[in-house]
Structures are given as structure tokens and as C-alpha cells.
Chain A
């Protein structure tokens, strides 16, 4: 498919190919015959597959963050800041990024492998040649499912982290539940929550997009299925970090300058 050429032209080729893939996603997303049933099925699968690990991660994150910061805060006599510190750092930064990276490992890889093996065994071509629309059926549904589910999973994980943080604080300094949550939640402002939610939407989209792109462009041979899954994880993780940096820059200049 790809002519043997220099690194530079290869890079250009990849960029063009991804831009084309993105375009075909948007074109097919608004076509009639939207696959609602498949969208719900994919959303369910993504949520179901990831809820366990996301719960566990969020919970432990809250505990660890609390236990880590307690000694320092104690030193400055600022133990009462624990709830606000945990909630702001989880909701603004740690929650979205960690959960997105976990979803990259869990979801992007499975999409990459699934579509990759469908590609290698000519199932995607079979759909196309029967006159059905594989992009609409396979790609649009998966990308949208990720775009919706990753933010929901992140919100859920944030809640788990607050609960974890509460339990750790309760056990170590004996704070009451009411005080913990009122302090933890009242500190939050739009400028904390909004950029966080927006960025998780981008993270979700990225995970779905990279998984589908890698699967669809896997070339023949069973080894390429593993490769598709692997590079889906690596590429979406890198993109998540990059998007995070960009969103931080933008929201800083919007809200704090």
C-alpha cells in the first residue's frame, strides 16, 4: 500500500491517511442509517469492561494521594485542607489523565485488535462489498461510544477517589463525612470542572479514533493484529498527554490570566 520512501514522506503519508480517516468518520457520522443499536452495544461493552479497573484505580488514587500529602500538610498545620486538595487535584488533572491512560490500555487495544483482525481476515472488505457501510457500522459507533463513555468513567472514578480520600482521612485524622465532602466539593469552580470534562471528551475521542484507525490500517498477516493493538495503545497514550498539555495551556490563559 505504502510506497517505500523516506522517513519524511512516510510521516506525511501517515498524517494524510489519518486526516482522511477523520474526514470519513465525520462524513459517515451524519449519514442516514445511523447504527444506534451498535452504538449502545459498544457503549455497554466499553463501560462494562472498564468499570472494575476504573473503580479500583480511582479508589486507590484517593487513598494514596491523601496518605502521601498528610505528613506535609501536618507539618504546616494545614490538615484541614486535605479534602479540597484531594478533590481539586483529582478532578482537574490526575483523574482525567490516569483514567484516560487506563482506557487507552484497555479500550484502544481491544478496538485495535478487533478491527485489525476483522481487517486481516477480509471481514471489513466483505462488509464493504456487500454494500453495507463498514465505517458507519464499525468506526462511527466505536468512536462515539468512547467519546461518551470515557468522560462518564472518569466522573465515576473521580467519585471513587473522593470516597477513597475520605476513608483514608477518616482513619488517619478522623474527619467527619459531612465536613469532608462539603469542603471537597465547595472548593470546586467552573474553571476546575469544565476544562476537565472537556478534555476527557477529547481523550475519549482520541482513544476511539486511534484504535479504529490502527485496526483499519493493519496490513495482512496475523502479526499485524498484535501490532495494531500495541500501537493503538502507544499512540493514544502519547496523544492523551499532548492534548492534556494543550488543554492546560488554553484553560490557564482563559481562566487565570
Chain B
């Protein structure tokens, strides 16, 4: 099985605070990897390293078989074409309408010029997340759940091969959370996307996760299928499932 993400012995500190101490993670092609962990253990930091937004201090981090820190600017850009990132706070461009938010990467990254094509690709993802009628709204006029889904739409519009979801369901009601979880599954099925899904939502983990990893203190504490971890005897791991 092809490994799309391979992390070994990754370390990252900010000033004196060591956040990642010995992080390991592998994601195979087409697989959904769920990452659990307490707030502040460095989950977001890990996926920011994967996307090349943060540079790790030590360790190996390969995406599509290539070491990220050895990539030059063009390679990094090419890698980012193939990666989608859903930010914890959605990170919508708040000076642009929903339509412009979606057109922004299409015009600049895929260099699309044809208005018709931009429109049809935007509508496709908006329909997928159920936001088709919000296309002319400003991000400030969207509710929290709509913003999350909008962020998801913008991530998906480039049809990435790896999607990094940072808490896709946090702050949403149970019904919307379930919808988003199923959307994540659908992305996996429809586009054969691989994914890292950071979540505190055990329902989401159960629905989407092919494998689940528990992070603690900046490193991987345990890894396995949802059922394996659920039946673990370790009290720390147990605490996530209760």
C-alpha cells in the first residue's frame, strides 16, 4: 500500500515550549486517519507541518514519498496543489463573497479563466456541502455551521488527494456534525482522497476513521481501528471513549 504521508520522530518547539516531542504518523492512500488528543498536544501543529506551514526542528516528514523540508519552492507549491486544508476556524476570506472565495484558488492555482467553468465547479462543491443558495453571501453573514461547510467547500474545490481536516465538526449540532462526517466519507469514496481528521467528536471518529490515533504530550500514544482502541485497557485511551 502506498504511503501518502509518513512522519517519523518529528520534533517541534516554540521558544522553550516543546510541542511535538516524537511524533509518528503514517497515512496510506485512500485512508481516513483520525487523530484524537487533548487540547494543546500539538494536533494542529502536526498538520501544519505536513502542509509546510511550519518547519519541524527534527525528524522526517514525507508527503507523497518526498521529504517536505527538502522541497524547493516549486515542489512545495506542487505538493500543496494536491493537499487540502480545512482550518479549525474555517479561515474564509472575509473581504470576499462565497463565490469569490471559491473562485480565488480556482483562478490562481488551477489558472482557470473560463467564467462558466469556475461557476460550475463552484456550484458542484457548494451543492455537495448544501450551501448552493448562499453563493452571493459574505462570510460574516453565515452561521458557524455554514462557515465550516463553506471552508470545506473551498478545500474541496481543488479536488485534493490528501485532505487535512482540523476539527471539522467542533461547535456544530449533532445533526450537522453527522452530515459533515458523512460528507468526509463521501469525499473519500468519490475522489479516493486520503485524509487526516483531527477531532474531539467521537461520533465523527467512528463514522469516518479507518484508523484512529491518540496523541499525548506531542507524540503518538496508541494507534489502531476504532474498535481496537475502544476496547483498550489503558485508562488514558479509555477516557476518550467515555
When distances are taken between beta carbons in the complex, the residues of chain B under 8 Å from A33 are 108
- Is A133 on the interface with B (CB-CB < 8 A)? yes
Q: Are the C-beta atoms of A123 and B93 separated by less than 8 Å?
A: yes
Q: Are A126 and B91 in contact (CB under 8 A)?
A: yes
Mask of A109-146 contacts with B, CB within 8 angstroms, 1/0: 00000100010011101111111110001000000000
Q: CB within 8 Å of B: which residues of A? A: 1-4, 33, 114, 118, 121-123, 125-133, 137
Cβ-defined contact, A133 with B91, below 8 A: no
User: Known pairs A126-B87, A131-B81. 17 more at Cβ < 8 A?
Assistant: A1-B15, A4-B15, A4-B16, A121-B89, A121-B91, A122-B88, A123-B93, A123-B94, A125-B87, A126-B91, A127-B104, A128-B80, A129-B53, A129-B80, A131-B77, A131-B158, A132-B104
Report whether over half of chain B's contact residues are helix, strand or loop; otherwise say mixed.
loop
Name the residue on B nearest A3 (C-beta): B15
Q: Mark B45-56, 1 if CB is under 8 A from A, else 0.
A: 000100111000
A128 (CB) vs chain B CBs: closest residue: B53
Answer whether residue B105 sits at the interface, using C-beta atoms and an 8 A cutoff: yes
How many of chain B's residues touch chain A, expressed as a range? 20 to 34
B window 70-104: CB within 8 A of A: 77, 80-81, 83, 85, 87-89, 91-95, 104
Smallest distance from the beta carbon of B113 to chain A beta carbons, Å? 12
* A130→B48 CA distance, assembly (Å): 13
Which of A1, A126, A137 has the most chain B CB atoms closer than 10 A to its own CB? A126
Whole-angstrom CA separation of A130 from B76 in the bound complex:
11
Query: Is B109 an interface residue, CB under 8 A from the partner?
Result: yes
List residues of B whose CB falls within 8 A of some A CB: 14-16, 48, 51-53, 77, 80-81, 83, 85, 87-89, 91-95, 104-105, 108-109, 154, 158
Q: A1-B14, A2-B15, A122-B87 are in contact. Are A130 and B92 (CB under 8 A)?
A: no
Chain A residue numbers with a CB within 8 Å of B105 are: 130-132
Chain A residues with Cβ below 8 Å from B91 are 121-123, 125-126
15 A-B pairs whose Cβ atoms sit less than 8 Å apart in the complex: A4-B15, A114-B95, A121-B89, A121-B94, A123-B92, A125-B48, A125-B53, A125-B91, A126-B154, A128-B80, A129-B52, A131-B80, A131-B158, A132-B105, A132-B108
Closest 8 CB pairs of A and B: A126-B91, A122-B91, A132-B108, A131-B109, A130-B105, A131-B80, A129-B85, A129-B51
Taking CB atoms, residues of chain A closer than 8 Å to B16 are 3-4
How many angstroms between the C-alpha atoms of A126 and B81 in the bound complex? Answer: 12
Distance in angstroms between the alpha carbons of A256 and B103 in the assembled complex: 56
Q: Which of these, A1, A123, A126, A133, contacts B85 with CB under 8 Å?
A: A126
**Closest residue to A33 on the B side, CB-wise?**
B108
Q: In the complex, A33 Cα to B111 Cα: how many Å?
A: 10
- A121 and B52 alpha carbons, distance in the complex (Å): 18
Bound Cα distance A3, B85 (Å): 28
* Closest-CB distance, A248 to chain B (whole angstroms): 39
Contact residues in A for B92 (Cβ distance below 8 Å): 123
Shortest distance between the CB of B71 and any CB in chain A (Å): 13
CB distance from A5 to the nearest CB of B (A): 10
CA distance A3 to B158 in the complex (A): 37
Determine the distance from Cα of A118 to Cα of B158 in the docked complex, in whole angstroms: 21
* Chain B residues closer than 8 Å to A129, beta-carbon distance: 51-53, 80, 83, 85
Contact of B80 among A3, A121, A123, A130 (CB under 8 A): A130
Chain B CB within 10 Å, residue with most, of A114, A129, A132: A129
From residue B12, how far is it (CB to closest CB) to chain A in Å? 12
B51, B94, B108 interface centre (most CB from chain A within 10 Å) = B108
When distances are taken between beta carbons in the complex, the residues of chain B under 8 Å from A121 are 89, 91, 94
Cross-chain contact B15 with A132 (CB below 8 angstroms) = no
Question: Hey, which chain A residues are within 8 Å of B158, CB to CB?
Answer: 130-131
Q: How far is the CA of A127 from the CA of B105 in the complex (A)?
A: 8
Task: Enumerate chain B residues within 8 angstroms of A122, measured Cβ to Cβ.
Answer: 87-89, 91
A20→B67 CA distance, assembly (Å): 25
Alpha-carbon separation in the docked complex, A123 to B105 (Å): 13
Contact check, A130 vs B109: say whether CB atoms are below 8 A apart: yes
Rounded to whole Å, the gap between the CB of B233 and the closest CB of chain A is: 38
Say which residue of A1, A3, A125, A132 sits within 8 Å of B109 (CB atoms). Answer: A132
Which residues of chain B are within 8 angstroms of A2 by Cβ–Cβ distance? 15
